């Protein structure tokens, strides 16, 4: 319905311009009035401009396609630019002729009542269609119709000046016609400059004042948005294309990031109903991230499932332990490769001096302060661990034993070697048995993390 109204108003404006141009030109030639001929010239330019406008609004309403992803609305701005050129050309020619008549003093003008009546009718009709065009332009956001409305308002004023000039000629002042033509040229030039400024602003994608800042405030009001990285606003006829990029915490899961984007688009569309909105959300590392959060993010980005992360602050040096979940049927060698790769990725992010131990089935403990246990205590636990692994079971070669004291109890980390042919499930059961027996021997131990490594095959020696 809106599109049809634009088309009909543009067509009406074109037909009226054609009628006025023909009538005023005939009367101007018959009466010798330069002001009337200038009016006819302006109406001829109006006819050409409104014809372009009629074509532009029809083409501009076509939907977007593969070659025009932003639609065709810019055609209306091009039409407005054509009208600017026609107005400027007409003002220069009229101004030149008027100045020439004023200099030479030659002016033979017949101020007939027919000419005066046509000018009066022209003023009334221009006032009416200027109001209609302006109203439709505001309702549809059409720059081409807005250009027509401004043009015809200028026509109304200039026709009034010409009418005054004709009246002065009738009273015996023939040069008043040239003065009136010069004033008309000024009106036309002013309209051309004003319209040209607005048209060029649209063609070079000048954003409407305040829209970008308003969009940024709407986005920053969302609690999940950390920062607004960029907002771009591009006008195209009645449409606004808004593209925004926001930063969110990289700790957000992918599903929540998608919800942030959808919510941002919804809020912007509510505030800007004529906008086509696109919002991208990008993860950002926050200064408030804890070591535990960073470990979980690293594991998540790698596709590794971990839980029960333990982070110990050893006087400026971190010790990190966690459970790494893998398929219980997986071979130990493959599981160990996954654990080693994850440990390496954590060290790359947090530093090579960070201790990282991966294990299965730890308990959930928040980040806590810790300190190395006395050498005697570490030695006692080390000896018990080694003795537990000397019973001929699949676990052997206990090494790299560390004992840390925390407010909740002692945390023991150790490495051991296991038959590489074992499955992850069997490996866990064997290591878990040693961990349980150690805790029975030392009730003060809160957590035991045993890092199992596949035993290296013993090299075969050939006697020679």
State the 10-residue block means of pLDDT for the chain, 464 residues long.
52 62 63 59 63 56 53 59 72 74 61 65 74 71 64 68 69 70 75 71 64 86 86 72 84 82 89 81 78 85 85 88 85 89 90 86 61 93 91 86 89 92 89 91 90 75 49
The answer to whether residue 315 sits within a structural domain is yes
Q: What's the CATH code of the domain at 73?
A: 1.20.1510.10
Which residue among 160, 178, 203 closes a domain? 203
330 vs 322: CA distance, rounded Å: 19
pLDDT at 291: 86
426 vs 333: CA distance, rounded Å: 13
The answer to whether residue 83 sits within a structural domain is yes
Q: Are residues 165 and 232 in the same domain?
A: no
Q: Write out the two tokens for 168.
A: 């002065």
pLDDT at 169: 67
183 vs 201: CA distance, rounded Å: 27
Q: Are residues 176 and 299 in the same domain?
A: no
Q: Are residues 146 and 220 in the same domain?
A: no
What SS3 state is found at 373? coil
Which residue among 167, 185, 203 closes a domain? 203
Q: What are phi and psi of 312, to 5 degrees?
A: -115, 135
Q: Are residues 251 and 267 in the same domain?
A: yes
pLDDT at 109: 52
List, as one string, the DSSP characters of 242-299.
EEEEEEEETTS-HHHHHHHHHHHHHHHHHH-TTEEEEEEEEEE--TT--HHHHHHHHH
The boundaries of the domain holding residue 338 are: 291-454
Evaluate whether 238 touches 73 at the Cβ level (below 8 Å): yes
Q: Are residues 231 and 311 in the same domain?
A: no
Q: Are residues 6 and 105 in the same domain?
A: yes
Q: Are residues 314 and 274 in the same domain?
A: no
Domain count, the chain: 3
pLDDT at 364: 45
Which residue among 203, 223, 241 closes a domain? 203
Q: Are residues 352 and 430 in the same domain?
A: yes
227 CB-near residues (< 8 Å, 6+ apart): 220, 246, 247, 284
């Amino acid at each position: 319905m809106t599109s049809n109204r634009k088309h009909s108003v543009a067509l009406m404006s074109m037909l009226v311009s054609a009628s006025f141009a023909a009538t005023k030109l005939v009367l101007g030639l018959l009466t010798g009035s330069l002001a009337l001929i200038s009016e006819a010239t302006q109406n001829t330019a109006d006819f050409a401009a409104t014809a372009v406008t009629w074509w532009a609004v029809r083409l501009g309403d076509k939907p977007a396609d593969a070659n025009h992803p932003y639609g065709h609305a810019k055609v209306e701005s091009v039409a407005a630019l054509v009208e600017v050129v026609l107005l400027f050309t007409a003002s220069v020619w009229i101004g030149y002729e008027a100045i020439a008549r004023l200099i030479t003093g030659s002016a033979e003008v017949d101020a007939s009542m027919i000419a005066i009546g046509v000018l009066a009718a022209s003023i009334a009709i221009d006032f009416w269609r200027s109001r209609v065009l302006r109203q439709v332009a505001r309702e549809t956001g059409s720059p081409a119709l807005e250009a027509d409305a401004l043009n015809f308002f200028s026509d109304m004023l200039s026709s009034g000046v010409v009418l005054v000039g004709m009246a002065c000629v009738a009273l015996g002042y023939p040069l008043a016609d040239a003065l009136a033509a010069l004033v008309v040229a000024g009106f036309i030039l002013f309209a051309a400059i004003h319209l040209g400024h607005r048209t060029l602003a649209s063609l070079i994608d000048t954003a409407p004042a305040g829209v970008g800042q308003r969009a940024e405030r709407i986005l920053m009001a969302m609690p999940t948005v950390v920062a607004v990285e960029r907002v771009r606003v591009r006008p195209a006829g009645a449409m606004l294309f808004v593209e925004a990029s926001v930063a969110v915490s990289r700790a957000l899961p992918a599903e929540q990031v998608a919800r942030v984007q959808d919510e941002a688009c919804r809020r912007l569309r509510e505030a800007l109903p004529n906008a086509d909105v696109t919002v991208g959300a990008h993860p950002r590392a926050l200064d408030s991230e804890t070591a535990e959060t960073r470990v979980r993010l690293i594991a998540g980005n790698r596709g590794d499932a971990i839980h029960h992360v333990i982070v110990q602050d050893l006087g400026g040096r971190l010790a990190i332990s966690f459970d790494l979940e893998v398929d219980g049927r997986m071979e130990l060698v493959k599981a160990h490769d996954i654990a080693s790769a994850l440990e390496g990725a954590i060290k790359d992010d947090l530093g090579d001096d960070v201790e990282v131990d991966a294990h299965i089935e730890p308990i959930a403990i928040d980040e806590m302060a810790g300190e190395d246990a006395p050498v005697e205590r570490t030695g006692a636990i080390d000896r018990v661990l080694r003795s537990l692994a000397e019973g001929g079971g699949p676990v052997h070669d206990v090494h790299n034993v560390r004992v840390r004291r925390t407010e909740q109890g002692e945390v023991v980390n150790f490495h051991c070697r296991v038959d590489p042919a074992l499955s992850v499930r069997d490996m866990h059961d064997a290591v878990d048995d040693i961990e349980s027996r150690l805790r029975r021997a030392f009730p003060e131990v809160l957590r035991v993390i045993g890092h199992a490594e596949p035993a290296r095959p013993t090299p075969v020696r050939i006697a020679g």
